[in-house]
Amino acid sequence: MADGGRVGSVNAEPQIASVMVRALRPHQWAKNLLLFVPLALTPDLLGDTARWVRLGWAFVAWSAIASLGYLVNDWLDLESDRADPAKRDRPFASGALSPATGAAAGGILAVVGVGVAWFFAPVTFVLYLVGYLATTLLYSRWLKRVLLVDVLVLAGFYTARLLAGGAAVEITLTPWLLAFSLFLFLGLALVKRYSELRRLGVGDAVAESVSRRAYRAADAPLVMAFGTASVYLSVLVLCLYINDADTDGQYRRVEALWFLAPLLLYWVSRMWVLASRGEIGGDPVAFAVRDPASLATGALMGAVVAIAVGF
């Protein structure tokens, strides 16, 4: 009997670790790669190793705080998640993770995130990080239930990563990049909401869950119209940026950047087609990091930028 108890406790450790990993959602850390974009788009500083290392620490700090936000969000949504077939298996909703364990993990994440940022990044980055955390908590508690404000805040979260990445390495973002990110990320946030609305037909429990976000099933066509318009505006901003006279002096082969336009058009159009088919379960970024076509498109876009820079 003693041996059986000991084996059970040994098996419990990897199970708890697996549950904790699911609760922290490390696959969502892919969004934090946006921190590296400002430096990656500054050809004159690409060889600055110190800045890349600083961004590495910034990535660690932001990922810790983002995971803290996911923990808080899942704890606040515990009851509604239990009623949602797509979310009932989340650690808090399923009972696999206790609130006490989640609170302890959250405290550790807060210390790690703010501590790493404080020691390895400028104060401006720390302010962005703390502001992001505060807005995340406000979003989880209230803003996600305000019609259309929720998607604007989600788009702001993406843009905040760009701003924070620039602050970490002391690079000021151009108005072009800010406008591009606003339209693109608003479109992706609307993909997320549209995908949730597509699931309204599953049952009353799902309808109740989504209605708490102030959307109705009848809103789906309008949400799609907003979302498609937004992502295509981002492509237009990209084209205007490439055609801008100041852009020409920043790249050795600026004409190569035009290949970005059809690649981006393909990707955003495909995302919306898949969303209309109900093939994107929720977060489009989480879908994209597992989607071979999205990964291939991203690799091609990276290669285009590298050619334009002159590698």
Q: What is the pLDDT of residue 6?
A: 44
Which residues have C-beta within 8 Å of that of residue 112, sequence separation ≥ 6?
60, 61, 64
Distance separating alpha carbons of residues 103 and 108, to the nearest angstrom: 9
Q: What percent of the chain has pLDDT over 70?
A: 84
Same domain, 112 and 217: no
Domain that holds residue 213: 174-311
pLDDT of res. 80: 60
Selected residue with higher pLDDT from 53 and 144: 53
Q: Which residue's structure tokens are 């093939």?
A: 279
Say yes or no: 116 and 131 in one domain: yes
- Looking at the fold, whether 115 and 54 belong to one and the same domain comes out as yes
Amino acid identity of residue 2, one-letter, is: A
- Give the separation between CA 68 and CA 294, rounded to whole angstroms: 27
In this structure, what CATH number is given to the domain that contains residue 127?
A: 1.10.357.140
Q: What is the pLDDT of residue 188?
A: 93
Residue 85 lies in a domain: yes
Q: Model pTM?
A: 0.82
Per the structure, how many domains does the chain have?
2
* HSE toward the beta carbon, residue 136, CA cutoff 13 A: 21
**Mean of the pLDDT values across residues 264-288?**
89
Alpha-carbon distance 199 to 202, whole Å? 6
**Residue 275 banded pLDDT, cuts 50, 70, 90:** very high
Q: How many CB atoms within 10 Å of residue 112? A: 17
Q: Do the domain assignments include residue 77?
A: yes
Q: Which of 173, 202, 236 is the last residue of a domain?
A: 173
How does residue 202 score in pLDDT terms, banded at 50, 70 and 90? Answer: very low
Residue 5 has pLDDT above 70, yes or no: no
Q: Tokens representing 68?
A: 């803290």
Distance between CA atoms of residues 196 and 85, nearest Å: 12
Whether the CA torsion 289, 293, 296, 302 is positive or negative: it is negative
* Cα of 137 vs its chain's centroid, Å: 16
Q: What is the mean pLDDT of residues 203-229?
A: 73
d(CA 140, CA 207): 19
| Range list of β-strands (E), 92-231 | none
- pLDDT, tens only, 99-108: 777 778 888 8
pLDDT, one tens digit per residue, over 8-60 is: 444 444 477 777 777 778 878 888 999 999 998 887 787 888 999 999 999 99
Q: Where are the beta strands (DSSP E) in the chain?
A: none
Alpha-carbon gap, residue 244 to 238, rounded angstroms: 10
Q: Which of 173, 193, 223 is the last residue of a domain?
A: 173
Q: Is residue 117 assigned to a domain?
A: yes
- Res. 157 pLDDT band, cuts 50 70 90: very high
Residue 215 has pLDDT above 90, yes or no: no
Burial of 286 (0-12, 13-18, 19+ CB in 10 A): middle
Percent of the chain with pLDDT over 90: 45
User: Worst-scoring range by mean pLDDT, 22-36, 223-237, 249-263, 286-300?
Assistant: 22-36
pLDDT tens digits for 108-136?
888 999 999 999 889 999 999 999 999 99
Q: What is the pLDDT of residue 180?
A: 94
